[in-house]
Amino acid sequence: MSTRSPHFTEPAKKHLGQHFLTDRGIIDSIVLAVDPRPGDRLVEIGPGQGAITFPLLDRHKELTVIEFDRDLIFPLTEAARAHGTLEVIHRDVLTVDFTALARNAGDEGGQIRLVGNLPYNLSSPILFHALEHASAIRDMHFMLQKEVVDRMAAGPGSKVYGRLGVMLQAYCHVTPLFDVPPGAFRPPPKVDSAVVRLVPRAPESIGIDDHALYSAVVRDAFGQRRKTLRNALSNQCDAAAIEAAGVRPGARAEQIEVADFVRLANSLARQRNA
């Protein structure tokens, strides 16, 4: 069943990575997963032609969307009148201050809830941008390329366990929800998609002492996957410093638990401060 509105006449733009969701069953599953409640401040990234936007508005009556494509602003605004109150932020999402949005959220926790069918060519930068504002975000429900969701949720020993998963899992609980076939979109992408839920951890449970150092350690560790930590982290520390953290210098990054990366980065931070 198509959800296309007569307000929208522009075709999808390849250079923006646009694939518009049209499958009503998938849309309903996403809305059910988000399960908006009174008082929530919902923010949708990349509403496109409103496939998720309007069902969320029907359910919640208020929604903020962030849309970069100027040609979609007017039809979104016009079509939304029949569904609820829509606030449109016409910006590149990577320049949007989620913390400032949450500050004006009005709910008791001062947090926002993010949802969106993310452009696949920008999914990782958007995820890392959201991490920078994790304390202002209650949860995130994103549709992404399935391969990306697999990497986000992978554990040690998996072929797809890497920097993305280690960074996200340190700050969030990552839960893959369901897969989405190419036929659910117009035009259909060449890959399968999946919906994932991310719930930021409470700040006190993250336990990372130096966030920039943690990011650098993870980046270097996975920079050359075939290298052992002893060699991959040579710009950060020596083998003795790795051993002092209780981590094997001869191990490769894909063998190391997220908690071990946190312990290693914290140990290096203490050594440097000393």
Q: Is 255 exposed, middle or buried (0-12, 13-18, 19+ CB in 10 A)?
A: middle
Q: What is the per-residue DSSP string for 140-205? A: EEEEEEHHHHHHHH--TT-TT-SHHHHHHHHHEEEEEEEEE-GGGEESPPSS-EEEEEEEEPPHHH
Are the CB atoms for 207 and 180 separated by under 8 Å? no
229 annotated to bind ligand: no
Q: Is 162 left (phi over 0), alpha (psi -120 to 50) or beta?
A: beta
Identify the bridge partners of residue 196 per DSSP, sorted by sequence position.
142, 176
* Gap between the Cα atoms of 8 and 69, Å rounded: 13
207 annotated to bind ligand: no
Is the bond leading into 189 cis (omega within 30 degrees of zero)? no
67 annotated to bind ligand: yes
Q: Token match 């130096």: residue? A: 210
117 annotated to bind ligand: yes
Are the CB atoms for 194 and 143 separated by under 8 Å? yes
Per the annotation, binding residues for S-adenosyl-L-methionine are 19, 21, 46, 67, 92, 117
Per the annotation, binding residues are 19, 21, 46, 67, 92, 117
